A = this chain, B = another copy of it.
């Protein structure tokens, strides 16, 4: 297989989204599949991990600005701890990887590889909290978790082990905990909208689809180009159920003993999957400049007699950009022609390409080309660092606008069962419909087209849709507006 063939994406995003996605992930050097016998695991390569580091840096900064401290809890959870909160054990039981032996000895009690850490964090928070003065308490950990789901591997979207952060907080009151839940949901929204160029919807999960043991599960949902929704980050108000199960209580000012109100919230490398899926195309990866490891690649174009002047000029520009904090790569490889380089850096998702030949040198300009639409603009050599920041803003705005257009065009309404089925079947996307709140009505849709209720809006935002209406499925009185969609 020649290098050229290896470089190209052969699948079509539009017609074979799944295969295309897998190809982009591998050919752009983001991840490989795990070893034989370990389906569901992936190896995150440096170019993929660098994207995750950018997401970490952004969120970690936001968390720390808002009172969160990082900590680290054990990888394993004793089975008896998992069992203390009955919803947790029921919710995760079928998905747990179990450690049964340490060295040559069988363990007395088997240990769960953490599927999430509420049941080991809550008992420690219980030790740390005595009085109302110790609240709010906010800890977060960046960690890997394991959920033994037997589905097809989809790198970053669906893997048995995944990287995430999980935040856990305790508060005096329901209001304090609810504010926390919303603060974290907003930070997730901001990651998507301000860093990843992906507009999201916010909502709550239906009762039967909440995090096990939670009072309320809220989520941001992102619509992928294939019409499926991704649960892109979740923030749970846990009520007092975990506090009661793990004796997380505090003494009030009046010396009463009260259970704390707790929250947990998590965002995983699924965000990376959404990023790749949303913007990339049949040429490969597309990244917004906010997160691209290289924001600009400079491709010099020379003949033997112009090589020196072109290279000197290109090096100068690279230095200027670097000094201004721009992440720039000068591709001065002699053994590759410009066309090859264009393809390679397009595949890798560099948002802005500078083409510099002898004409550019003579005119004191550079030709800047946007990824993905190929728009080309001439920039003055002077103030190049400022000019390129404007190009970044433009590229970002284009990516965001395209994703927003897709989202806005794909939220539809329906008032009857067949309308829900037909609309999702034909267009994908979200269908808003009045709903009685009964899981059976969701099941009827799920059984037919594998679409489910991915959220109901918070704060009754879509009240006009269900007020005085009948459930689109069963015809009973509607209580909520349900967003039906197929989902990842």
Residues of chain A at the chain B interface (Cβ within 8 Å): 32, 34-38, 41-46, 48-50, 52-53, 69-76, 78, 80-81, 93-104, 108-111, 113, 120, 123-124, 127-128, 139, 143-144, 146, 148, 150, 160-161, 163
Contact = CB atoms under 8 A, between A and B. Distances in A.
A103 B148 contact: yes
Nearest to A123: B35
A68 to B, nearest CB: 9
Copies of this chain in the oligomer: 2
Nearest to A52: B72
Contacts of A160: 102
Contact of A72 (B44, B139, B146): B44
B139 A32 contact: no
Given A43-B74, A72-B144, 5 more contacts: A32-B127, A76-B97, A76-B161, A98-B99, A100-B101
Nearest to A139: B46
B100 A98 contact: yes
Contacts of A108: 37
**Interface hub of A41, A94, A143 (most chain B Cβ within 10 A):** A41
Contacts of A113: 75, 99, 113
A110 B100 CA distance: 10
A161 B75 contact: yes
Nearest to A68: B46
Contacts of A46: 69-71, 139
Contacts of A72: 43-44, 49, 52, 144, 163
Contacts of A103: 93-97, 148, 150
Contact of A97 (B99, B109, B144, B146): B99
Chain A residues touching B, majority SS: mixed
Contacts of A102: 96-98, 148, 160
Contact of A49 (B71, B93, B94, B161): B71
A104 B148 CA distance: 10
Contacts of A44: 71-73
A93 B72 CA distance: 27
Contacts of A48: 71
A71 B99 contact: no
19 contacts: A37-B109, A41-B74, A42-B74, A43-B71, A43-B73, A43-B74, A44-B71, A44-B73, A46-B70, A46-B71, A46-B139, A49-B70, A72-B144, A75-B113, A93-B103, A97-B99, A101-B110, A103-B150, A113-B113
A44 B100 CA distance: 24
Nearest to A141: B49
A35 B69 CA distance: 21
